Amino acid sequence: MHLPSLHLFIIMLLIPWPFSSVRLCAPDSILVPGMGLTPGRTLTSDQGSFALGFFTPSNSTKNMYVGIWFNDIPLHTIVWVANRDNPITDASSAVLGMTNSSSLVLSETNGRRVLWMSNTIAGSNSSVKLLNNGNLVVLSSNGAMLWQSFENPSDTVLPGMPMRTTHKTHPPWRMIAWKGPEDPSKGRFSGGNDLDTPLQFFVWDGSVPYFRATVWNGYISSNVGLQTVSPLMYLTVYKGTDGEAYATFGLSDASSRIIFKVDYSGKTTIWR
């Protein structure tokens, strides 16, 4: 059995949806109520590093998904997927837009089939924006963050993305691998910190431990393992306002072109 050597801490509703009149267009990086994103169109971050849009994992499937990917490199690298277990089957009617209650919703069949939603409720004048670090956020009219993709990971962690290492007040934090190399639905393997040993990173095969890192013994962590990938790489561990411990990683040159992921085979990798 291959054990990864990297040690790192780390509704469907069948009813019409109350969209306002949707204009099938969007500005570069922002969606507001009344605007919709459709296949062939993308949101891009202000600096152009990331894009949000519709994609098909391979030429052999007709299923379509909404995801975020690196926009400024040739290799099409998906870092987040919205509708992992509910693929789009009718691309001609698919739209990603905001409801009057400010939830971000992916639907098809003219809104009668909802495939994914952000489950946020706010007043009017809210918006959705793709940030330069790859985080998709729902913002209130005063700029408060109501929802973010960084708190709802797929199989990939980006620089600056908080990885919760304790679970005092929140459900366990998990990154869940794809089911296969061309299938973004939730797979067998997941990664995160163990409930009984919250300072130890695990990869599980279902509910069975597949790989475990050494136990983290405090707020000071060695950068040695990270710097074998890049001498510019660092790891930060901190205590949040909610009393939970979090870890983030990044590059000292502020680049976002690096990822940590658990792949469909259970292997953990850092890719740059």
Tell me whether residue 120 is in a domain.
Answer: yes
Most confident listed range (11-20, 80-89, 234-243) = 80-89
Q: Summarize pLDDT for 157-190 with one digit per residue, the tens.
A: 998 888 887 778 878 889 999 999 999 999 999 9
Could you tell me if 107 and 220 lie in one domain? no
Q: Note the pTM of the prediction, 2 decimals.
A: 0.81
Domain range for 47 = 30-151
110 compared with 46, residue with greater pLDDT: 46
* Sheet-wide strand order for 145-148: 30-31, 127-130, 136-139, 145-148
pLDDT at 218 over 70: no
Which has the minimum average pLDDT: 132-141, 169-178, 226-235?
Answer: 226-235
pLDDT at 163: 84
pLDDT at 239: 82
89 compared with 35, residue with greater pLDDT: 89
Could you tell me if 138 and 190 lie in one domain? no
Number of structural domains (the chain) is: 2
Could you tell me if 239 and 214 lie in one domain? yes
Dihedrals phi, psi of 24, to nearest 5 degrees? -85, 65
Residue 64 per-residue DSSP state: B
Mean pLDDT within 52-64 = 85
CATH code of residue 146: 2.90.10.10
Could you tell me if 120 and 186 lie in one domain? no
Last residue of a domain, one of 126, 151, 176: 151
**Exposed/middle/buried for residue 208 (C-beta within 10 Å: 0-12, 13-18, 19+):** exposed
Could you tell me if 192 and 133 lie in one domain? no
Tell me whether residue 244 is in a domain.
Answer: yes
Tell me whether residue 178 is in a domain.
Answer: yes
Mean pLDDT within 214-243 = 59
Could you tell me if 198 and 211 lie in one domain? yes
Last residue of a domain, one of 124, 151, 178: 151
The residues that bridge with 90 in the sheet, in sequence order, are: none
Q: Which residues contact 150 (CB under 8 A, 6 or more apart)?
A: 135, 158, 160, 161, 162
